[in-house]
Structure 1
């Protein structure tokens, strides 16, 4: 009897497609008052839902929920990218993993678990960085969903997808659905390249991560955090080029602490401690499983609406606040005409001729709408300061103490590049 469910080794019923997607088909078999004008119910939309390729970036707290939700909503060709391996600390909220999985790639374990639990769904994992893949890879997907905990990664994929879009080729249009959580708070949003606000447009809304200018860390530290960053970012790779610094390894943290303490003593700085060292190295963002589930459900629902056109998608940003009761708010985030990613405009920055290049760089790093980490600056003819490689950094370091009036002309364009962005920012200097 082909329609009788059988038991898998996880003791879950395996249903034939008609039964598994019965509830989903309720929304696809007929139209309704909330369906988009172009919605056409029937077999075609069902086949499209089951056949389209969807990409999930991140297989952590949000990614695990997303993979489960998408697999149960009719998406049967799912790809997932994650560069991390499973740690014991993940097990309390990343429910696709078990203690026996510790040390294994998250993407591979998550894919195998969901495919075992929901037969008929194919999940293709990739253990590595999103930067490993080129535009040809991303062009195969209809929808991209981000479950990331990194601003840098979000900015990279946002800029990459925006640059892929060609108005004359509809196939290059790739909607991005982005989800994020922090403790009891979360957000989901839809980014339609060149149509709605992109991630870069809203960068000044984000909580600015604690960063320290590389020139300050290398030359003029003033805070204990500067010394810790110097030890962990500059000295560790120099001494241990083949070993990644592990914030959970007490020996690693102790080494960084010793180096940072010595540097702090050299510059008469106090306050370096073991707890502060570990806090700076790990930069932990708190996560709660229930918030992950809520935000992932929102993202998966929007993916279903976009894929099937069976309901109007969100426009275009949802906030969830659960630390004092429960509050949600949806609003339209406006696109910025001067956005360096989707606007393409130059940014005018005022400065004094007497200001040093180091001071100018620090002001760029402090801007919430840029959120730079290690910027490099050059004009059309001269490299002002190059954060990397080391030889170029040393060669351009003397410029840091020079005045802007010595280095550039009024109205001259400076190209700013940074490891956080796959694009450059064009800054026009205006002397005041």
Structure 2
């Protein structure tokens, strides 16, 4: 019986192997870019030009490498984006591993941005992911203006407000419009949004639709707690300032959370309340709502789909908001958020407040704190000239301006006037026109 000669396997170079893998990986994407479709944008060029921009030129930034960010990074790499940047200030916790699949147990304690970038580059050859470990506020406006597209997968309202205001400022000053795709999840619900700074409505235009964090009455948490949340709030709001005086509570510090957890557990035992856990303690003080992996996947897919459309013009982008709900069934709805004329970020008109002349400044302050379209906690006020009216800090200026709180507005303003508001929740100043009636 004759033997069949078997040729030795062909050894391909690493570049050839990478090219073949890349060619096969993006085969279906290429079908979209090689020809026009029924919804193709009028400016669509397609062909090699679109592929080259997507894979060689387009510079895209992902803000956040958590549950949503991990999904976004994976999707972008597999869609064909090759120049990806990611920024995140957090480190990996053991509780992240059930839904943030780019991380392993050996990664606990490491930078989310660094570990996620390394994992994606290892798994998807040819993709470069540049990580930044730190706060988004650590980078100048010019840094964000250098990107073609930015996707935000944040779990923080103040951070969203900051990046939105920064991009609008860049667009207005430098006429450089960097699209912002904002994704967010809340349990079984989520949303994806396309913001064209200074062109479409911005994030601040819809700030009044965001429900403020749950607040518990001080008298309840101090005297008659009934829920584990009451015990946690007692530890963070009342006990922490009493024990640590001027030391600020850092909700990102595990040692601080541990201290709150121990104090809250002791108080819960005193009142025979069950349910205080470390995770709940962190969730209450950071206003965290448990994340659902399937929701993250759906919203991340929508965000990356919009990024692909913006980069290639293969189809019209979202105009401009998609909401998803999976609580009882699967439901998605799209609509256009319109620009708010008195939006403090992108609007052309200032916010107007009607105030009675016999109101005290303290009453005006309370009215401003109640406004959903401002969402402020500890506002400081100044005259339009810059002269202090009432400042929360520093202590010397607070004591000097505190007497103004009891004064009537007719004493402080001879006629209609404007005040400038600053607040820890605001990444910008807000000018409010006071109309005395």
Q: What's the TM-score, normalizing by structure 1? A: 0.85
Partner residue, 2:230: none
Aligned residue pairs total 407
Checking the alignment, whether the CA contact within 8 Å between 1:61 and 1:289 is kept in structure 2 is yes
Partner residue, 1:69: 75
363 and 393 in structure 1: CA distance in 2 versus 1, 3 angstrom threshold? same
Structure 2 segments unaligned to the other structure (5+ residues): 1-9, 222-232
Give how far 1:429 is off: 1.2
CA distance in 2, matches of 1:195, 1:254: 50
Give how far 1:229 is off: 2.8
Residues 389-423 of structure 1 show CA distances to partners (whole Å, capped at 9, x for unaligned) of: 34333333333333333323431100011222232
CA distance in 2, matches of 1:194, 1:305: 20
Partner residue, 2:153: 147
Checking the alignment, whether the CA contact within 8 Å between 1:91 and 1:99 is kept in structure 2 is yes
356 and 223 in structure 1: CA distance in 2 versus 1, 3 angstrom threshold? farther
Partner residue, 1:197: 201
Checking the alignment, whether the CA contact within 8 Å between 1:232 and 1:281 is kept in structure 2 is no
247 and 185 in structure 1: CA distance in 2 versus 1, 3 angstrom threshold? farther
Checking the alignment, whether the CA contact within 8 Å between 2:152 and 2:182 is kept in structure 1 is yes
Which 10-residue stretch deviates more, 20-29 or 150-159?
A: 20-29
- The Cα RMSD (Å) is 3.1
Checking the alignment, whether the CA contact within 8 Å between 1:229 and 1:280 is kept in structure 2 is no
- Trace 1:185-264 onto structure 2 (pairs within 5 A): 185-210=189-214, 224=221, 228-229=236-237, 231-232=239-240, 236=244, 238-239=246-247, 245-246=253-254, 249-254=257-262
CA distance in 2, matches of 1:241, 1:122: 37
Which 10-residue stretch deviates more, 389-398 or 241-250?
A: 241-250
Residues 239-261 of structure 1 show CA distances to partners (whole Å, capped at 9, x for unaligned) of: 47899654884334445899x99
Give how far 1:158 is off: 0.4
CA distance in 2, matches of 1:245, 1:256: 17
Residues 372-400 of structure 1 show CA distances to partners (whole Å, capped at 9, x for unaligned) of: 13221100253122223343333333333
Which 10-residue stretch deviates more, 242-251 or 180-189?
A: 242-251
Checking the alignment, whether the CA contact within 8 Å between 1:146 and 1:178 is kept in structure 2 is yes
Q: What's the TM-score, normalizing by structure 2? A: 0.84
SS at match of 1:16: helix
Checking the alignment, whether the CA contact within 8 Å between 1:53 and 1:77 is kept in structure 2 is yes
SS at match of 1:26: helix
In the alignment, structure 1 residue 384 sits paired with structure 2 residue 389: yes
CA distance in 2, matches of 1:89, 1:321: 24
Which 10-residue stretch deviates more, 312-321 or 366-375?
A: 366-375
Which residue of 373, 396, 402 corresponds with 2:377?
373
CA distance in 2, matches of 1:255, 1:372: 29
CA distance in 1, matches of 2:180, 2:126: 25
CA distance in 2, matches of 1:86, 1:163: 33
Partner residue, 1:350: 354
SS at match of 1:290: helix
62 and 38 in structure 1: CA distance in 2 versus 1, 3 angstrom threshold? same
Structure 1 segments unaligned to the other structure (5+ residues): 262-270
Checking the alignment, whether the CA contact within 8 Å between 1:387 and 1:393 is kept in structure 2 is yes
Checking the alignment, whether the CA contact within 8 Å between 2:283 and 2:289 is kept in structure 1 is no
Which residue of 99, 108, 111 corresponds with 2:105?
99
Give how far 1:279 is off: 5.7
405 and 73 in structure 1: CA distance in 2 versus 1, 3 angstrom threshold? same
In the alignment, structure 1 residue 39 sits paired with structure 2 residue 47: no
Give how far 1:33 is off: 1.3
Which residue of 258, 283, 287 corresponds with 2:287?
283
CA distance in 1, matches of 2:393, 2:245: 13
235 and 174 in structure 1: CA distance in 2 versus 1, 3 angstrom threshold? farther
CA distance in 2, matches of 1:391, 1:345: 34
Residues 20-76 of structure 1 show CA distances to partners (whole Å, capped at 9, x for unaligned) of: 211111111111111101101211111101121000001111100000000100100
SS at match of 1:324: coil
